[in-house]
Amino acid sequence: MKKLAILGSTGSIGTQALDVVRDQPDRFQVELLTCGNRVELLIQQALEFNPNAVVIGDPAKLELVKEALFPKGIKVYAGPEALEQAVTMEGIDLVLTALVGYAGLRPTLAAIEAGKTIALANKETLVVAGELVTAAARAKGVNIYPVDSEHSAIFQCLAGEWHNPIEKIVLTASGGPFRGRTREQLATVTKAQALKHPNWDMGAKITIDSASLMNKGLEAIEAKWLFDLKREQIEIIVHPQSIIHSIVQFRDGSMKAQMGLPDMKLPIQYAMAYPERLATTWPRFDFARYPALTFEPPDLDTFRNLALALEALDTGGNAPCVLNAANEVAVELFLQDRIGFLEMSDLVAHCLATVPHINAPTLPDLEASDAEARRLAREHTLSAWRS
């Protein structure tokens, strides 16, 4: 019986992780649930799974949650500092970091410092501070198990191969809802169109990142740190069917691929149960329904976000942190109908060119870079509106 902390339990990954717990009640027990402000759903989850504690991001809703959970004797806390303390609780075996964006960094570092095993669904943690996070994990002897389908695929392909050097990895991308579109066509796409992913059921932020291919750029940066890779060892290919989740090529030229239907519960359960594969009743892949699996290179000219992310990976230092912060603001503004789809790339490029580069940033340096990139992105958008 593994005792879990699920950070971001009301989001897409968090709710699917709780589906896994429902399917495997004799294998997992929930100790901690956290959310930002979807307190109604958090209350429902807490009443069902009876965790030791819950944490909400919005202190204004603390009393509401306390009142609802008082009969169950569930401890209730609020705010980012409470979250960082809660993940260190005794009795937690594994921390699933399913928060969206930069918010996942500090609680993940706190959990690593406390020696907790990490199931990482928050790619931004490694994008922003990959060197610091991986160094902390090595120092504490903490394992980080990837939850992103692509990184889980690589992790699964490496099972039994740890002694064999990787020649390269191939991250597969669906291409999103706008694969094959021109820049002229992308200039007029709407939020509703961007949120209709052809294969995956994800939260709004990740779905927009997938539509712009920024998600694949963030995954390339995450892969560098997870698997200790150089830039030239990371290849990205568009695979519209989303059946092959990623590939590892070894130095003898042999390649291993992990395949399956696009369902995030599989990589979630694999990370939570590792090294065991638990039986499931989920739908199985049928070759007869997929007579062809196709592949094509990504269009870096049309989808500038991917090109910008790869440039940030090459630059290193605080560049990925700036990229991530600017992108989070850009996606927020796009979802608010305040900027267009292509303007997201313009905003990210502006911040990358403007925020001073730091080659070997400390955690305070990264926090300052994050804040500066967000400020610049908002100011630049406001100035554009005024003009």
Question: CA-to-CA distance for 118 and 172, rounded, in angstroms?
Answer: 24
Question: CA-to-CA distance for 226 and 231, rounded, in angstroms?
Answer: 13
Residue 97's nearest CA partner among 2, 13, 217 is: 13
Full-model pTM: 0.92
User: What tokens were used for 283?
Assistant: 């739908």
What is the mean pLDDT of the segment spanning 238-243? Answer: 95
Give 19-66 pLDDT, tens digit per residue: 999 999 999 999 999 999 899 999 999 999 999 999 999 999 999 999
Give 164-192 pLDDT, tens digit per residue: 999 999 999 999 899 999 999 999 999 99
pLDDT score recorded for residue 385: 53
Q: Cα separations (Å) of 288 from 97, 244, 292?
A: 37, 16, 9
pLDDT of 157 above 70: yes
Residue 96 DSSP code? E
User: What tokens were used for 210?
Assistant: 């997938």
Fold exhibited by the domain 161-261+294-386: Rna Polymerase Sigma Factor; Chain: A (1.10.1740)
Domain residue spans in the chain? 2-146, 161-261+294-386
User: What tokens were used for 132?
Assistant: 């610091």
Give 293-330 pLDDT, tens digit per residue: 999 999 999 999 999 999 999 999 999 999 999 999 99
Burial 347-358 (b: 16+ CB within 10 A, else e): bbbbbbeebeeb
Give 330-348 pLDDT, tens digit per residue: 999 999 999 999 999 999 9
Q: Work out the pLDDT band at 272, boundaries 50, 70, 90.
A: very high
Q: Which CATH class is domain 2-146?
A: alpha beta
Question: CA-to-CA distance for 75 and 343, rounded, in angstroms?
Answer: 44
Q: Cα separations (Å) of 84 from 88, 103, 136?
A: 7, 11, 16
Give 189-214 pLDDT, tens digit per residue: 999 999 987 766 667 888 999 999 99
Examine domains 2-146 and 161-261+294-386 and report if their fold is the same: no
pLDDT score recorded for residue 258: 97
